[in-house]
Amino acid sequence: MTEDANVWTIEELVKLTDQVQTGKVTYRGKDFHFQFCELAEKEEPNLKAIPETASDQEKQDWATEAGTERILAMIKKANDKNPDGITLTSENWSSVPVTLRYQITSEILSYQQEVTENFTTG
């Protein structure tokens, strides 16, 4: 198999779970920097499964909570590895403007989408 710079190797993907990654969003004309780490499966937050009989609103609320817990776990992991880069914590997350939280979440998830789009098996 030939090396392709546009294709992730397993080794590169595994390293991502140990690397602190940084992100930046522009909010109201100013940049905001943050850090996060990818999670290995064992680091994913454990939430109780939602019953299939739950209403659509309950399912949506559960998905929102699950997403928030995941983003906070990614931020906490980076903060533990790089205390000098802390800007966000689980303690201040709920005090940050919601629109900024959405931007940060979107930015982190776009990194994850990039990994998904570039990952292939040979």
Query: pLDDT for 65-76, tens place per residue?
Result: 999 999 999 999
In Å, how far are 16, 59, 61, 89, 92 from 112, measured between CA atoms? 11, 23, 22, 20, 23
Reference 37, options 108, 101, 87, 100; nearest CA is 108
Q: How many CB atoms lie within 10 A of CB 80?
A: 11
* Domain residue limits, the chain: 10-39+56-117
Report CA dihedral (25, 13, 17, 33) to the nearest 10 degrees: -10
Among 40, 51, 45, which Cα is nearest to 71's?
45
What is the Cα–Cα distance from 73 to 45, expressed in whole angstroms?
7
Residue 91 confidence (pLDDT) above 50: yes
Look at residue 110 in the predicted model and tell me its pLDDT: 82
Q: What are phi and psi of 56, to 5 degrees?
A: -60, -40
Q: What is the pTM of this model?
A: 0.80
Tell me the mean pLDDT in the region 30-59: 92
Whether residue 1 is predicted with pLDDT greater than 90 in this model: the reply is no
User: What pairs with residue 27 in β-bridges?
Assistant: 30
- Decide: helix, strand or coil at residue 34: strand
